[in-house]
Amino acid sequence: MKRRTVGRLRSRVHCGDNLPWMRGLPDGCCDLIYIDPPFFTGRRRTITKGDGAFGDRWDGGLESYLAFMIPRLEQCRRLLAEHGTLYVHLDWRVAHHIRIRLDDIFGADSFLNEIIWHYRTGGVSQRRFGRKHDTILAYARRLGRHRFNVLREGQFRTDGLKTDADGRPYKSTKRGRLYFNAQGPALTDVWDIPFLSTVSNERAGWPTQKPVALLHRIIRASSGPGDVVADFFCGSGTTLVAAKMLDRRWLGCDTSEEAIRITSDRLAATQ
Ligand SMILES: C[S@@+](CC[C@H](N)C(=O)[O-])C[C@H]1O[C@@H](n2cnc3c(N)ncnc32)[C@H](O)[C@@H]1O
């Protein structure tokens, strides 16, 4: 089949089912895709204001959920440029099922990370440990060609760390000074980022809204300025807002008119 060529894509947001929209986009047009699809919760999510909602109930059970997800994951692979990366945000309910499907679609050797996003909000159970993390699966379109920027944040936890006259951290060893990176430790695959509180200024009125800080990390790690960042389940548009803040282009899609209205308002308010 002839590959459609990628011109310079304009940032845009689409209201409707993502599958036909994705099918209409050219091969390799995205540098980074992040998706935060329904988690197979069995719930109907309603929003606090207005009359928007989206369903996460699957009459045919897991099989119908996977039948919904698999063609969309296949489209994600087709839409990624050779150096592109896909991030799929899930939780304990289906992360393991989707990882097996992603191994099939991308190849197990294209797997990059299983990121644990740890937060502390919500109650705890008396019958098991509190479930306080989401899982974000990352796959390269082509391992080795994929873009990745090491991010550094926080403090080293090494005992006995000293700083030299220039403020560079080191520890003394038998063979002399062992220097540590002055920008701090490289981020690992366990991320502590607070969940949006109910009174957060960032709240836009969409029930499953994710923090901009989470998307900043993903976008800074796996793309550069001017790149196209896509989110085909964009909800309140967090990914697109983070992309705009970081000088990336964006593609966003959601079935809900209310979600697209919130997204458009947030984008308009973002410098
Ligand atoms: C978990 S939410 C995304 C939340 C988003 N990350 C945010 O920060 O606001 C999932 C979204 O997928 C949308 N959705 C569900 N099925 C869809 C489909 N077939 N096409 C496009 N969007 C869909 C829902 O309307 C919902 O907004």
Query: Which domain CATH number covers 259?
Result: 3.40.50.150
Query: How far from 165 is each of 14, 156, 162, 171, 182, CA to CA, in Å?
Result: 55, 18, 10, 14, 13
Q: What is the pLDDT of residues 190-248, one digit of tens each?
A: 999 999 998 999 999 998 999 999 999 999 999 999 999 999 999 999 999 999 999 99
Give Cβ neighbours of residue 113 (< 8 Å, ≥ 6 apart): 136, 137, 138, 189
Token pair recorded at residue 69: 């997800």
**36 CA from centroid of ligand 1 (Å):** 7
pTM of the model: 0.93
Q: What is the pLDDT of residues 150-196, one digit of tens each?
A: 999 988 887 889 999 998 999 999 999 999 999 999 999 999 999 99
The secondary element (H helix, E strand) that includes residue 45 is strand 44-46
Q: Does residue 135's CB lie within 6 angstroms of at least one atom of ligand 1? A: no
Q: Does residue 17's CB lie within 6 angstroms of at least one atom of ligand 1? A: yes
Asked, for residue 2, whether it belongs to a domain, the answer is no
Q: What is the pLDDT of residues 112-121, one digit of tens each?
A: 999 999 999 8
Is 238 found in the same domain as 144? Answer: yes
Rounded-to-integer distance, Cα 99 and Cα 86, Å: 12
Q: What is the pLDDT of residues 63-111, one digit of tens each?
A: 999 999 999 999 999 999 999 999 999 999 999 999 999 999 999 999 9
Residue 84's domain comprises 12-151+187-268
Is 160 found in the same domain as 51? Answer: no
Asked, for residue 7, whether it belongs to a domain, the answer is no
